[in-house]
């Protein structure tokens, strides 16, 4: 897909804006994905974003500047969450894109797929309480030097909903050491004041991890749903920071 440009008639008028560089977001749709429309809608509220869908059987990313793996229940969560989707044809392209430094955002089931594909550390277990959880959740921003968090401050508390049954992130001791050393955690579950406590941890994730990046910082997996808080009328706009950061990242590149 080519980037959208303003119409010829408009650009011919004196004083009209120059054609705007659009940021192509490729939203991967797996059988069982169910948050792709939310992601598409949220992105469509940004004038600089051009979202489009990518079918999981596609073999190219259709010119995407950013790849989004949306939430849902890919392949019915059979075997383990994300375990089957990880082997979809497009994941080969997504992995190559990620290796080349392209930004990849995995939300909820997308995070589970990234973990199964070893594009981020760890794995997602069933929630500690064995219950599906669905509620607004405070998150502490740990880093703002990633393509996903430029519009946030370090230590900022944002509110983003969680909506999952397998969000209990864990990793082997070697991975945990590496994550700690390299500071790969981007979001942690916290309370309203930003205290990262066991009480504020909704699912039992190790060290309250809600979102982590890979070593090169260009792949983010997060359980909460930023695409659901991009408009005031749906209860919040804290999610805009994630997509806005990605847009800034691409446009300034």
Partner 1 sequence: MARVAVYVTPKAGILDPQGVTIERALPALGFEGVSQVRVGRYITLEVEGAEGEELNAQIESMSRRLLANPIIEDFFVEIVDDREYPHESCGGSEEVIVGEENTPRKAGEHAASPWTAADPYASGEEAAEGGEPEAEGDEDFEKGKEGVITSEDKPPSKAGEHAASPWTAADPFASGKEEVAKEDREAGKE
Whose Cβ is closer to partner 1: residue 25's or residue 189's? 189
Task: Give the burial class of 52: count Cβ atoms within 10 A of its Cβ; 0-12 exposed, 13-18 middle, 19 or more buried.
Answer: middle
Q: Which stretch binds partner 1 (CB under 8 A): 3-11, 77-85, 224-232, 235-243?
A: 77-85
Binding partner 1 (rule: CB under 8 A), the pick from 113, 171, 179, 219 is 171
Shortest Cβ distance from residue 167 to partner 1 (Å)? 12
Q: Which of the ranges 35-43, 56-64, 122-130, 152-160 carries the binding residues for partner 1, by CB under 8 A?
A: 122-130
Those residues whose C-beta lies under 8 Å from the C-beta of residue 163, and which sit 6 or more positions away, are 71, 108, 133, 134, 225, 228
Among 76, 118, 145, 235, binds partner 1 (CB under 8 A): 118
Least distance CB 222 / partner 1 (angstroms): 18
Active-site residue among 36, 56, 108, 116?
A: 108
Pick the closer one to partner 1 by CB: 49 or 171.
171
Query: Which residues are catalytic, by number?
Result: 108, 225, 227
């Amino acid at each position: 897909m080519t980037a959208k440009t303003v119409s010829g008639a408009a650009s011919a008028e004196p004083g009209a804006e120059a054609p705007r560089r659009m940021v192509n977001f490729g939203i991967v749709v797996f059988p069982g994905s169910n948050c792709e429309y939310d992601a598409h809608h949220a992105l469509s509220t940004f004038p600089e974003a051009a979202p489009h869908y990518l079918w999981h059987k596609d073999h190219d990313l259709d010119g995407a500047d950013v790849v989004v793996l949306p939430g849902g229940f890919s392949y019915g969560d059979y075997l383990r969450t994300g375990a089957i989707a990880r082997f979809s044809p497009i994941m080969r392209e997504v992995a190559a894109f990620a290796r080349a430094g392209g930004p990849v955002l995995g939300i909820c089931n997308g995070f589970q797929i990234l973990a199964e594909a070893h594009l981020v550390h760890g794995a997602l277990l069933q929630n500690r309480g064995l219950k599906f959880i669905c509620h607004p959740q405070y998150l502490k921003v740990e880093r703002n030097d990633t393509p996903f968090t430029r519009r946030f401050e370090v230590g900022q508390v944002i509110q983003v909903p969680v909506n999952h049954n397998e969000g209990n992130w864990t990793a082997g001791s070697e991975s945990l050491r590496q994550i700690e050393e390299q500071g790969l955690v981007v979001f942690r579950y916290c309370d309203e004041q930003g205290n990262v406590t066991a009480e504020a941890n909704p699912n039992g994730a190790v060290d309250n991890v809600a979102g982590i990046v890979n070593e090169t910082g260009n792949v983010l997996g997060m359980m909460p749903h930023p695409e659901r808080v991009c408009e005031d009328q749906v209860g919040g706009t804290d999610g805009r920071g994630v997509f806005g950061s990605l847009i800034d990242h691409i446009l300034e590149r």
